[in-house]
Amino acid sequence: MMTTVTTASRSWLLLIAATHCLATPRPNIVVLLADDLGIGDVGVFGNDTISTPNIDKLAKSGAMLTQHIAAAAVCTPSRAALLTGRYPVRSGMESHFKNKVFIILASSGGLPPNETTFAKILQQQGYATGFFGKWHLGLYCSSMGDPCHHPLNHGFDHFYGLPLTNLKDFGDSGDSVVTTYYPHCLHACYTLMAISASLSYLLLRRGRVVLASFVFTLFFVNPGLVVLFVKSIPTLDGVLMRNLDVVEQPLRLPGLTQRIVQEAEGFVRSAVADRKPFLLFVSFVHVHTALFTHPAFVGSSNHGRYGDNVEELDWGVGHILEVLEELGQTESSFVYFTSDNGGHIQEVGLDGQREGGYNGVYRGGKTMGGWEGGIRVPTVVSWPGRIPAGLRVDAATSQMDMLPTVLHLAGLEPPKDRTIDGTSLLPLLRNDTQSSPHELLFHYCGTNVHAVRYIPRDGSGVWKVHFHSSDESQCPYVCHCYGSYVLHHDPPLVFHLDTRSFREKSAVCEFRSAGPQGAGGGQGRSQGSRSVPRFAAAAAQLHQLPSGLPVVTAVLQLSTLFMQRRGTALCCDHSRSFQCLIRITGPTSYLGRSDIGGRRRTLADVGGIVLCFVFFEVLDFFDMTVIHISRLFHVFKHAGNRLDLLVSLVRFR
Order of strands, edge to edge, in the sheet holding 440-445?
A: 440-445, 448-454, 463-470, 486-496
Determine contact, residues 594/600, Cβ cutoff 8 Å.
Answer: yes
CB within 8 Å of 166: residues ≥ 6 apart: 35, 134, 253, 285, 288, 289, 290
CB within 8 Å of 550: residues ≥ 6 apart: 458, 460, 544
Q: Give how far Cα 200 sits from Cα of 26, 219, 442, 446, 602, Å.
A: 73, 10, 57, 45, 42
> Pairing relation of β-strands 28-34 and 278-283?
parallel
Q: Give how far Cα 508 sits from Cα of 163, 355, 547, 558, Å.
A: 44, 34, 11, 16
Determine contact, residues 202/210, Cβ cutoff 8 Å.
Answer: no
User: What totals of helices (H) and strands (E) does the chain contain, helices first?
Assistant: 17, 18
The answer to whether 189 is a known catalytic residue is no
What are φ and ψ of residue 138, in 5° steps? 90, 165
Determine contact, residues 575/568, Cβ cutoff 8 Å.
Answer: no
The DSSP code for 542 is: -
DSSP-assigned states of every residue in 24-37: SPPPEEEEEEESS-
Distance CA 58, CA 64 (A): 9
The DSSP code for 600 is: P
Determine contact, residues 327/272, Cβ cutoff 8 Å.
Answer: yes
> Is 492 in a helix, a strand, or coil?
strand
> Considering Cα of 363, then 73, then 83, then 96, what sign does the dihedral take?
negative
- Catalytic residue, chosen from 20, 96, 136, 438, is 136
Determine contact, residues 637/127, Cβ cutoff 8 Å.
Answer: no
Determine contact, residues 47/54, Cβ cutoff 8 Å.
Answer: no
Taking every pair of Cα atoms in the chain, the longest distance, rounded to a whole number of angstroms, is 121
> Considering Cα of 95, then 619, then 172, then 233, what sign does the dihedral take?
negative
The answer to whether 479 is a known catalytic residue is no
Long-range contacts of the stretch 40-44 (C-beta < 8 A, 24+): 40/343, 40/357, 40/358, 40/359, 40/360, 40/361, 40/362, 41/287, 41/310, 41/343, 41/357, 41/358, 41/378, 42/378, 44/378, 44/380
Q: How many CB atoms lie within 10 A of CB 12?
A: 10
Helix 606-638 to helix 642-652 angle, to the nearest 10 degrees?
160
> Considering Cα of 48, then 54, then 58, then 61, what sign does the dihedral take?
positive
List b or e across 128-143, with b for residues whose CB sees 16 or more CB atoms inside 10 angstroms. Answer: bbbbbbbbbbbbbbee
- Catalytic residue, chosen from 21, 68, 75, 468, is 75
CB within 8 Å of 225: residues ≥ 6 apart: none
| Active site members | 75, 136
